Amino acid sequence: MSRQAWTDEDVRASIIPQKEFPTCSYRRGTRLGRGGYANVYKVLNVKTGGLFAGKVSPEHVSHLRKEARNLTRLNHSQIVKFIDYCEDKTNPAANVLVMELCAGGSLQDKIHDNPGGLTRKDNLQVMLQVGQAVEYLHGKGYFHGDLKPRNILIRSWSPIDVVVGDCAEVMKIDHINCHKQPHGTRSYCDDIWALGISLLGMMAQWPHYLMKEERVYPRKCATHARNLDKLNPGHDLVQVLLRLLEWDHNRRITASELVKLTAERLEAHPNFVEELKSPEGFQPLQFW
């Protein structure tokens, strides 16, 4: 499926009756993805010919409106761009949040396609750009609340250009209790911790996850990071990982520090073999 063009498949999809899609200047094409509360489709602006991503959520209208409001308040190069929001006045369940179309899919797709892990440079570049987005959010007093590879979207991979998406959970930091987070992915305690969990996946180092281990999984990830450090002394990616997954949140790296650290690492020349040594018998989680 091509994300960069309006194809015959999109034309066929657009002529199917769509009760949950509003009457507006956009035409709905093929589905690009599915999330916890919404579906995302390729959409065509029939007036301009522009292609975008359209998120629809007939059963969670208030949630979609909230995401649209959040995006209108945010303006950063590494946060997905808001384009438009439409809903039928007589039928709010017919709605669409229109955003820029990220042709490269999600970081989760990239992890899935690279079971041996991404390269050192790619990992650092992604961490730098997402760190810049988080630095911007935290600087304005906001918290993302649901950072994970599925919500990091790829504009391009060569050169790397990624953006933070799914901003429905963005809220003021003083409204967050990270030990009792009401929404989002429960494995993540905060944005910085979430980046550490994401980096584990990018390095093909996610420990196995069982539902009954939900409460202990964060500790399992932190322990695995320390074990990697013992096996790979001086490995700069592991050093970044350790600071992201620091158990004591008062000592955990800040977004600004992460941006500085990853930029420095990108300029440096590594003095180690890129392949990581993992604990004996370790088998990474492939689908999460």
- Neighbour-count burial of 273, counting CB atoms closer than 10 A to its CB (0-12 exposed, 13-18 middle, 19+ buried): exposed
- Say whether both 238 and 114 belong to one domain: yes
- Say whether both 85 and 111 belong to one domain: no
pLDDT at 187 > cutoff 90: no
pLDDT confidence tier of residue 1, bands split at 50, 70 and 90: low
Domain tally, the chain:
2
pLDDT at 85 > cutoff 90: yes
Where a domain ends, among 57, 78, 99? 99
The answer to the question of residue 75 being in a domain is yes
- Say whether both 257 and 173 belong to one domain: yes
Domain boundaries, position 17: 8-99
pTM of the model: 0.91
CA 29 to CA 9: how far, in whole Å?
8
Per-residue pLDDT tens over the stretch 11-39:
999 999 888 899 999 999 999 998 878 99
- Say whether both 126 and 221 belong to one domain: yes
Report the pLDDT value the prediction gives residue 184, as an integer from 0 to 100: 38
- Say whether both 202 and 90 belong to one domain: no
Where a domain ends, among 66, 99, 132? 99
Report the pLDDT value the prediction gives residue 178, as an integer from 0 to 100: 47
CB of 265 within 8 A of CB of 240?
A: yes
User: Is 55 among the annotated ligand-binding positions?
Assistant: yes
Per-residue pLDDT tens over the stretch 243-281:
999 998 889 999 999 999 999 999 987 766 668 999 988
CATH at residue 169: 1.10.510.10
DSSP code string of 8-35 = HHHHHHHTS--TTS-SSSEEEEEEEEE-
Report the pLDDT value the prediction gives residue 286, as an integer from 0 to 100: 63
